[in-house]
């Protein structure tokens, strides 16, 4: 008979200390008086601080993670070409490719990294391939990233990083978003840092920087003219969103340290267990643990397992990354040809443990004890 207590542990929680709430409220009050509500000083400051954080020359703030992918793809002139995209990613990665009028070509995943590998990319290369979108699933930068960048160079392709999961993640001291021509981030509320809604393009490429600013503002040749030179859209980030984003980028180091404490504890407790495995963070690298992935050896009915686990232990497991690979999504049926055995297996089998900055060590211990009890019985 188990003597495990039931303790409610939520899947995720936002992190806004009181002083940050007050600071954001003050900024919103100010902008309501001045009327500077979009493309203003706070957006510029947010871009400056984000670029400094990841170590790129430029950053362009936009209204979503999705537009932070589509805009660079449009600048890279992908229309009519093929773009290699992981099948294990969020809808928006491939949707941005389709909206930029290119064809997504899905690539299976390396079970060790949940990302694509050079061998898998090679298998899916076509004569029309223009580039690769790499996604750092769960905030883990694959140990093969430099190899993927070299493979792209050898083939004459660009590498773009969808770093929606990877704020602050590093491989050998290099930040997510800095391995290719440009990178994108999402500030959706469940992400490691948020602006409510929002996204950021980072790059060292001056042309991408200049053109991204035009695309996000209806393709206008400048803020104050009504001449439209590009097929842009309203992809602007509003100043209230920028204020939230600024408060969060200033907290990011603290957020990462708190997440790291929980992630490191899970690593120590679960790296040698008999009932499953974790995703290993490469030596000398840093994961923001956007999601903490655990892969049980067996998982036949994940929805049923999650429901029973919550009822018995109080622990809410978070959403998967991802439950259904893109080649199985009805909307991508036209691009679904091929076999994707690793994604078919692992998307259905993994679970994600709760992790958030204000999580206590007692809560983390309860998660691990509950997991051991569930699998050892």
Ligand X SMILES: Cc1ncc(COP(=O)(O)O)c(C=O)c1O
Instruction: Tell me how far, at minimum, the Cβ of 215 lies from ligand X, in Å.
Output: 16
Nearest partner of 107 among 367, 342, 372, judged by Cα: 342
Instruction: State the angle between helix axes of 302-313 and 361-376 in degrees (0 to 180), rounded to the nearest 10.
Output: 120
Q: Is 162 in the site for ligand X (CB under 6 A)?
A: yes
SS3 label, residue 257 = helix
Nearer to ligand X, 101 or 190 (CB): 190
Q: Which residue, 199 or 314, is less far from ligand X as judged by CB? A: 199
The CA distance from 36 to 20, in Å, is: 20
Interacting stretch for ligand X, rule CB under 6 A, among 8-16, 60-68, 140-148, 205-213?
60-68
* Pick from 124, 107, 144: nearest CA to 285: 144
Q: What is the nearest approach in angstroms of ligand X to the Cβ of residue 32?
A: 25
Minimum gap (Å) between residue 184 Cβ and ligand X: 7
Shorter beta-carbon distance to ligand X: residue 161 or 217: 161
Q: Is position 66 an interface residue for ligand X (rule: CB under 6 A)?
A: yes
> Closer to ligand X at the Cβ: 165 or 175?
165
Give the β-pairing of 182-186 and 174-175: unpaired
String marking each residue 93-132 x if it binds ligand X according to CB under 6 A: x---------------------------------------
Residue 256 or 371 with smaller CB distance to ligand X: 256
Spell out, one character per residue from 22 to 41, where the chain touches ligand X: x when CB under 6 A holds, - when not.
--------------------
Q: How far is CA 329 from CA 33, 89, 131, in A?
A: 46, 11, 22
Among 12, 39, 53, 64, binds ligand X (CB under 6 A): 64
CB-based closest residue to ligand X: 65
CA atoms within 13 A on the CB side of 86: 31
Q: How many CB atoms lie within 10 A of CB 119?
A: 12
Residue 164 as a binder of ligand X (CB under 6 A): the answer is: yes
Per CB under 6 A, which region of 89-97, 332-340, 345-353, 367-375 contacts ligand X?
Answer: 89-97
Q: Interaction with ligand X in 257-316: which residues (CB under 6 A)? A: none
The site string for ligand X over 127-156 (x = CB under 6 A, - otherwise) reads --------x---------------------
Give the tokens for residue 361. 């060590």
Do 278 and 377 contact (CB within 8 A), yes or no?
Answer: no
Residue 364 near residue 372, CB atoms below 8 Å: no
Taking CA atoms, 350 is separated from 285, 370, 377, in Å, by: 23, 16, 19
Segment contacting ligand X (CB under 6 A): 90-98, 201-209, 333-341, 352-360? Answer: 90-98
217 close to 223: Cβ distance less than 8 angstroms: yes
Q: Which is nearer to ligand X, 188 or 375 (CB)?
A: 188
Strand order in the sheet with 58-62: 58-62, 199-203, 182-186, 158-162, 129-135, 82-86, 103-107
Residue selected from 186, 194, 213, 287 as contacting ligand X according to rule CB under 6 A? 186
The Cβ of residue 192 has, within 10 Å, a number of other Cβ atoms equal to: 28
Segment contacting ligand X by CB under 6 A, of 61-69, 125-133, 172-180, 281-289: 61-69
How far apart are the C-alpha atoms of 36 and 31, rounded to whole Å? 5
Q: How far apart are CA 351 and CA 108, in angstroms?
A: 19
| Phi-psi domain of 175 (left: phi exceeds 0; alpha: psi -120 through 50; beta: other) | beta
Let me know: does 23 contact 42? Beta carbons within 8 Å: no
CB of 59 to ligand X, least distance (A): 15
Give the number of residues in contact with ligand X, rule: CB under 6 A: 14
- Among 87, 89, 144, 313, the residue binding ligand X under the rule CB under 6 A is 89
What gap in Å lies between CA 311 and CA 314, rounded to an integer? 6
188 binds ligand X (CB under 6 A): yes
* Stretch binding ligand X (CB under 6 A), from 84-92, 153-161, 311-319, 336-344: 84-92
For ligand X, the binding residues (CB under 6 A) are 64-66, 89-90, 92-93, 135, 162, 164-165, 186, 188, 199
């Amino acid at each position: 008979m188990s003597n495990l207590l039931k303790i409610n542990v939520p899947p995720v929680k936002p992190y806004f200390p009181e002083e940050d709430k007050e600071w954001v409220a003050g900024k919103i009050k100010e902008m309501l008086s001045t009327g500077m509500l979009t493309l203003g000083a706070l957006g510029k400051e947010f871009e400056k601080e984000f670029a400094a954080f990841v170590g790129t020359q430029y950053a362009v703030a936009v209204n979503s993670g999705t537009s932070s992918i589509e805009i660079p793809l449009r600048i890279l002139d992908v229309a009519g070409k093929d773009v290699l995209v992981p099948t294990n990613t969020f809808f928006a990665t491939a949707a941005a490719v389709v909206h930029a009028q290119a064809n997504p070509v899905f690539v299976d995943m390396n079970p060790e990294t949940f990302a694509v590998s050079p061998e898998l990319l090679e298998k899916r290369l076509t004569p029309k391939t223009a580039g690769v979108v790499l996604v750092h699933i769960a905030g883990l930068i694959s140990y093969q990233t430099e190899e993927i960048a070299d493979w792209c160079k050898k083939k004459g392709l660009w590498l773009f990083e969808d770093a929606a999961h990877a704020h602050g993640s590093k491989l050998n001291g290099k930040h997510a978003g800095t391995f290719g021509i440009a990178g994108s981030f999402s500030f959706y509320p469940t992400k490691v840092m948020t602006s409510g809604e929002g996204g950021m393009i980072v790059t060292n490429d001056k042309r991408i920087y200049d053109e991204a600013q035009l695309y996000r503002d209806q393709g206008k040749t400048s803020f104050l003219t009504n001449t439209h030179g590009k097929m842009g859209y309203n992809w602007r980030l509003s100043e209230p969103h920028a204020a939230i984003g600024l408060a969060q980028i200033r907290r990011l180091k603290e957020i990462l340290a708190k997440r790291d404490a929980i992630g490191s504890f899970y690593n120590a407790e679960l790296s040698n267990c008999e009932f499953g495995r974790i995703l290993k963070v490469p030596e000398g690298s840093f994961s923001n643990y956007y999601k903490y992935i655990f892969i049980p050896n067996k998982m036949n009915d994940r929805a049923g397992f999650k429901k029973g686990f919550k009822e018995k232990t109080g622990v809410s497991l978070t959403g998967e990354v991802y439950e259904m690979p893109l080649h199985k999504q009805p909307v991508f049926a036209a691009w679904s040809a091929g076999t994707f055995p690793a994604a078919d297996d692992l998307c259905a089998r993994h679970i994600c443990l709760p992790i958030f900055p204000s999580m206590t060590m007692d809560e983390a211990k309860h998660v691990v004890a509950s997991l051991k009890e569930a699998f050892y019985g």
